[in-house]
Amino acid sequence: MATLILLALIAGLMAADPDPCTNYVTLDDDRRMAHNTVKYDSCIFKDHQLKTLWYRMVSTTNNKLVSLRMYQQCPTTQSCGTDRPVWLKGTHPTVADGIVSRKACVPNFTEEYKPCCRREIDIRVKNCGAYFVYQLNKTHICEEVYCSAKYPSLLRRPKLRGPKILKTAQGVEEFRFGCHIPYPAHDADVFFMVRWLFDGKPSPVAPMSQIYYVNGTSRVHYMKDIHMLPAAYHMNKHVSCSVQPFFYPQWSNPHGGKLWESNSYFAGIQFNPPVVRVEEKMQAVKVKVISTIPVLCKIPNADPSKCVVDFNLDLGEGNEVVAEECSLQLTRAHWRDRRKRATVSTKLLSVRDFVSDGTKNVSAVFQKLSAVQAPLFHQLQPPDIRVESSSDATAMCSCTGDPHCTPFDRKETFHMYSVGEFVLAKSTSRPFEVHMRTWKCNSRGASCICGVAAREGNDVILIDGCHSVGLKMKQMRVTTHVKSNSQLAAGTRIKRNKDGRIIEVFFTSGAYLKVLSNRRSLGVYLTVPSDDFENTAGICGVFNGNGSDDLTGSDGVKHRFERIPYVFTESWRIQKGHSLFDQLPPPEPSASTNNPAFCQCNRRTGNIDCRPENRQRNPVRKINRNKDITDEVNRKSRLRRSTTFTDTATDSDMTYNYDYGDLNATAVNVKWSSSAQMKAAIKLCTDAAKASSAFTPCEKSGLVNVQEIVDGCVDDMKITNGDKTYLDSVASTFDTICQEEILKDPKYYTAQPDEASDPTVTWGTTGTMGIPSFISNMCSTPCKNGTCVNGACVCDKNCVGDDCSVDTTKPPIAFGLTRSDACDIRTRPCRLVFLVMGNVADTPGLWCRVKERVNLGPFGGVLRMFRTKGHFQSYAEVSCEIPESPVHKGLKTSSTYQISVSSDGTTWSSDVTFVVYDSLCQICGADGTCTLKSRTCSINGKCYAAGEHNPVNRGSMCIPSLTASDWSST
């Protein structure tokens, strides 16, 4: 009976509380939807007057009823048509859950709704399968409005993460990106449509062209590296994902939630900096090649160092820019997971081309990548690097003749007549300097340059003729030495023209030194690269484009310009014993690291050339026909520093006595003896300038101050009382200055077809530019008795030589030996002798004649004559081979030879005496006069020391007190 009563009561209660899925009130108002950001007048919704009933949230659009849900996230400000939207805290129930209790949240009335659940309202919720119903209580105030939603909303955009490296069960590495969806995982009745984007667009190829669905409690979708094949569609692009949320069971509902796109990640190859700006005066710029994707080999347990991608750089044919390396290798081992980067680098350098050609755009191109075992990179085309290369100013200074000097900026000459050592130029920012020595070259007080010493880094090079100077000197003989204690830096080159009158030094920085020998003086021309802009001092002045401060003394005082600035030049005098001629500077520790090789990277022609000298491309060097003597000079310097027994190992040209000049000397002031003499000198100097093969085009260019060159020559003749020797340097100075100025100006270059051109200067992609022919065909020295044709002198009849200065109708002139002392077989082989010569050229008929007097005792003597091949050393020097002498054979203790030279084997120079002796028992002079040393014997043509036994009879020995010419019995 009790049971029946209970069942009746339950049935009654159920009848009293009908199912809310069929008994509800409809809330049909799109204005309360979460995506509505329009704020309406307060109290339009009247939720503060709601009765506690069951409600179903719907939207009627085009007469179609769509069920809504109560919004279940913290709304954004000004959403749901009000500024206090009420939202569902927690999840919606399943059908099986039945009626559940939940909380509705009222946000704080602030701009950011913090806290978003300031106050709670009790509600109940039931899942009716196709829709939800809510038992709502009234809100406190009319601005508090229950918020509805047609579809799920993401409050923030999806998060793209990765690439993350994983290893498969087979030991193969792979990476993946994850598209993470910011939506509560406990809400299982939502799904998301995910699409992968590349540069904001869907991929055109499968599988990444597909749409993917994420459902259940999953909130992430992954893309693996193999999905990014083919790489051409997916690499070097910004990867992102788009997500659109939907509610179940709205699979067929085309209107999902707002489409959100994630953050993006660049997947591919980048460069830092993306635009490389290099200037000729700048150091090399580091360029990083960055892969934002790891290099993974698709083989089990691959060695990270063996997974390699080859980057091959191509900088084109112009060689405007060079690289530290042309090939880079990126490996798995380079990957840094924390930074999501794999990085390798090279350095790019703007080549010092000595052409004022402004800014050029150079394309640095990488060839398609080669990485067979890393398929995502294989045949991938990296982007180009944009390189802007800017040229900077260079400048030349010259000192010639007596000497008269033209500084870097001010193209007017001044004169210096002091004897001594001076700083011609030095850099204040790097280890570079040039010193010069002058000597008194005539009786009227004029000085001339006789030696130049140049230093860059730890290299010190001497070009010196001061060992042969003197007022009675007939011919200046110039020698070139490496004074520094090691080989020259790679890239430093020394060149010499055929007859040795021109010595050139090309330094790796681009600095260029040219020294031209005349009979009594040296002409010096120094070009400095843009690195030294605003960083020079010395006789050549301050290279900064401002001629007004060129005469700045060593104490910083700026002197006014005058033709004989005695105080200024004296300020640059070097204290005795402190020049580069006398001592080496302290070693520069960074010199070796500051001279790296740079590479010309031209893949099209296959030219991968890595050398330090590639850092500069002086057009003078390109058209230069002179012989490279760097290895020869290095070799001779090694011999000089060693104890090698050789005829060329001599310090005699470096250890001479030098006149350092009179510090109290007064300035020279010489006047013309007559106006006629002055006019004659002006004509001679003008005609000498016009002898240049390029005089007309150079004068027409306006880049050469002809008058300054002529004035310098006239001054030389004034102070030497009309000595025409100085006329030799006029055309050379004119040619050198013209060449320098023309080659700096790009307007004088002409475009040439690639196959026919000499690639001397190129501007980016505008083609190869050719040097004007009147410059490239200029002779290295003016032709004195001939015509310059295509860069070489065609000599008149009976004239030969590089400059046609040798008269074949006259014999060579022998002035003496380069070493005036007799030759000791104990210190030298004495098989080679060097003669100071004049009127000699490198001809096929160059011979030496060696005459030796043979003593026949009572029958007198005869001359034994030999002919040996002569070796041309320079316009002032010939070497002759000497046959093995009786001194070498132990038949005599001294021998005297008479040596002469012929250019044709017929006419001979005068004889020069050469003495060979054994210093064990002899003291010999250069004239052949010998005396026996004390405590020695000279027996049968051999030297023996006192007490030395007879080698064939131990019973006798050398006893000088008894006899010095025979054995004495013991």
> Which whole-number Å values give the CA distances from 109 to 103, 144, 391, in the listed order?
18, 10, 65
pLDDT at 576 exceeding the cut of 80: yes
Q: What is the mean pLDDT of residues 129-147?
A: 91
Q: What is the mean pLDDT of residues 100-111?
A: 86
Give residue-wise pLDDT tens across range 600-623. 888 877 778 888 888 888 888 777
pLDDT at 751 exceeding the cut of 80: no
pLDDT at 742 exceeding the cut of 90: no
pLDDT at 17 exceeding the cut of 80: no
- Work out the number of other CB atoms within 10 angstroms of the CB of residue 104: 26
Q: What is the mean pLDDT of residues 420-432?
A: 95
What gap in Å lies between CA 882 and CA 327, rounded to an integer?
54
pLDDT at 754 exceeding the cut of 70: no
Output the furthest CA–CA distance in the chain (Å, rounded): 177
Whole-number pLDDT of residue 691:
86
Name the more confident of 855 and 851. 851
The owner of tokens 């010096």 is 524
Closest CA to 612 of 284, 276, 279, 281: 284
List domains and CATH numbers for the chain: 25-150 (no CATH), 159-267 (2.60.40), 269-390 (2.60.40.10), 395-583+620-642 (no CATH), 808-932 (2.60.40.10), 936-969 (no CATH)
Q: Which two tokens stand for residue 185?
A: 């995982």
pLDDT at 639 exceeding the cut of 80: no
Q: How confident is the model at residue 296 (pLDDT cuts 50, 70, 90)?
A: very high
Give residue-wise pLDDT tens across range 756-811. 444 444 333 334 567 888 888 888 888 889 998 988 899 999 999 888 999 999 99
Q: How confident is the model at residue 343 (pLDDT cuts 50, 70, 90)?
A: very high
- Work out the number of other CB atoms within 10 angstroms of the CB of residue 182: 15
What lies within 8 Å, CB to CB, of 220 at 6+ separation is 178, 179, 180, 181, 214
DSSP state string for 64-96: EEEE-EE--SPPPTT-TTSSEEEEEES-PPPGG
> Do 451 and 659 meet the contact criterion of CB atoms below 8 Å apart?
no
Please give the share of the chain, as a percent, with pLDDT higher than 90.
46
Whole-number pLDDT of residue 1:
43
Whole-number pLDDT of residue 82:
86
What gap in Å lies between CA 217 and CA 843, rounded to an integer?
98
- Mean per-residue pLDDT over the chain, rounded: 86
- Work out the number of other CB atoms within 10 angstroms of the CB of residue 563: 11
Q: What is the mean pLDDT of residues 98-117?
A: 83
Q: How confident is the model at residue 859 (pLDDT cuts 50, 70, 90)?
A: low
> Do 398 and 535 meet the contact criterion of CB atoms below 8 Å apart?
no
Q: Tell me the whole-structure pTM to 2 decimals.
A: 0.77
Residue 557's Cβ-count burial label (10 Å; 0-12, 13-18, 19+) is exposed
What gap in Å lies between CA 62 and CA 701, rounded to an integer?
86
| Ramachandran angles phi, psi of 290, nearest 5° | -115, 125
pLDDT at 16 exceeding the cut of 80: no
Whole-number pLDDT of residue 7:
42
Q: Is the dihedral of CA 45, 51, 55, 61 positive or negative?
A: negative
- Work out the number of other CB atoms within 10 angstroms of the CB of residue 763: 23
pLDDT at 5 exceeding the cut of 50: no
